[in-house]
Amino acid sequence: MITEGTQAPAFTLRNQDGTEVSLSDFAGRKVVVYFYPKDDTPGCTKEACSFRDNHQAILDRGAVVLGISADTQAAHTSFRSKYQLPFDLLSDPDKQVIQAFGAWGERKMYGKTYEGILRSTFVIDENGTVIKAFPKVSPAEHAKEVLEVL
């Protein structure tokens, strides 16, 4: 997993509308990039809604939010609409960006071990440097932790 003080990996992915979004689009702004396992699942919904509920405060601190998972654009469109999420959800079906950030690895659920997306968040400064890495995230209150960093 990338660490604080390192340059965030450059990326370009398609959002829920099929529009390409690049990290470089936000040069000069802080960016909150959060990785999550799957649209419309309980933990991911809690996390997304936490970012939704704190979105204006995040914007007020000069930052934007980008959610990334391996889900399809269509799944992102549905998830975003269902929960009125005001930020882009980016689709990484090949998991290249997920792996570049180190958000892919061993997970355990119900006693089974498997490879998957590690719920993690990175706060990136105006120059593209990671200023805070959250390698493990508690979904419901996570946006408030991010606000404290911003």
**Active site positions, annotated:** 44
Q: Given the structure tokens 């990785």, which residue do they identify?
A: 35
> Residues 35, 117: contact at Cβ < 8 Å?
yes
Query: Rounded to an integer, what distance in angstroms lies between the CA atom of residue 127 and that of residue 8?
Result: 9
Query: Rounded to an integer, what distance in angstroms lies between the CA atom of residue 112 and that of residue 54?
Result: 34
